Amino acid sequence: MLDIEDSTETDASPEGRILIVDDDALARFILADQLDALGCRCVDTAADGIEALRQALVRPYELVITDLCMPNMGGQRLLAALRTHGLHMPVVAGTAWREPAAAGTNGAPPDAASLAGFAAVLRKPISIAQLQQLLRAHLGETRFGRDRTAPAAGARRALQAAFCAAWPEDEKALRAALAALDTRAMRERLHRLHGALAVLGEARARRACTQLQQRIAREGLEPHVARIERFMHLCARIGRDSPHG
């Protein structure tokens, strides 16, 4: 399994170093694991744009894959900062089904003008096939031209374990948002969970997450307390009910 916390490869590696930027630790884990399945061994991660910029100023990257909506510095500001510092590696943006309000108007995804300059904008969860196309396009056909298999069952169990490990913090954030009737905080946390549930193949929980985002956007939190509780129950069961869990 790829160690996504700190890469120990040398900068001279012929594979090309990739930087993943996302404030969600599970999202970073999933993307790094997918890149590992495709043969990428030089992968670093950062939790926001500020951390990513610091890393990029001291270590060369051939590709940056960043979430758009993050605290401190989001993907759009990171792209601008990289260019200001004369760094011109391709930067790919990942966006979930619906970005929080800070990314656009009334929770809508950012408009095309605000995404100018990105090498690509992909909807999360980013698939293995999409990642392979990115690697071929930006790191070279010769290095990533061969088809590789998707993560095996063992990798899926590792992703489930990562989701389970992150769930207590997610549940705490959901309950805090519910207690405060903080619609924006609730939608931001649901936004973060949505992509992870899709990658894990948890169709029922993902549908519930999508429906909650839509209903809360229209009607607020109060009418949907019971639905939120049912959704949290679904999430808490992930991994626990696996025959390998």
- Does the bond joining 168 to the residue before it have cis omega, within 30 degrees of 0? no
Higher pLDDT, 125 or 167: 167
Higher pLDDT, 56 or 243: 56
Examine the domain organization and report whether 60 and 162 are in the same domain. Answer: no
Residue numbers of the domain that contains 100: 18-144
In a domain, 63, yes or no: yes
| CATH number, position 174 | 1.20.120.160
Q: What is the CA radius of gyration of the chain?
A: 18
Tell whether the model's pLDDT for residue 98 goes beyond 80.
no
147-154: average pLDDT: 52
17-45: average pLDDT: 89
23-44: average pLDDT: 86
| CATH number, position 98 | 3.40.50.2300
Tell whether the model's pLDDT for residue 73 goes beyond 50.
yes
Confidence of residue 12 (pLDDT cuts 50, 70, 90): very low
Examine the domain organization and report whether 37 and 109 are in the same domain. Answer: yes
pTM given for the model: 0.70
Give the model confidence (pLDDT) of 198-219 as tens digits.
778 888 999 999 999 999 999 9
Q: Are 197 and 239 in contact (CB under 8 A)?
A: no
Examine the domain organization and report whether 209 and 109 are in the same domain. Answer: no
Q: Which of residues 121, 144, 167 is at a domain's end?
A: 144
Tell whether the model's pLDDT for residue 99 goes beyond 50.
no
Examine the domain organization and report whether 139 and 48 are in the same domain. Answer: yes
Residue 10 is predicted with a pLDDT of 35
What is the domain count for the chain?
2
Higher pLDDT, 230 or 41: 230
Examine the domain organization and report whether 160 and 133 are in the same domain. Answer: no
- Beta-carbon contacts of 5 under 8 Å, excluding residues fewer than 6 positions away, are 45
**3-class secondary structure, 20:** strand
Tell whether the model's pLDDT for residue 86 goes beyond 70.
yes
Q: Are 177 and 186 in contact (CB under 8 A)?
A: yes
Q: Are 238 and 164 in contact (CB under 8 A)?
A: yes
Q: Are 152 and 1 in contact (CB under 8 A)?
A: no
Tell whether the model's pLDDT for residue 45 goes beyond 90.
yes
Residue 110 is predicted with a pLDDT of 61
Residue 245 is predicted with a pLDDT of 42
How far is the C-alpha of 99 from the C-alpha of 191, rounded, in Å? Answer: 7
In a domain, 81, yes or no: yes
Examine the domain organization and report whether 95 and 55 are in the same domain. Answer: yes
103-124: average pLDDT: 68
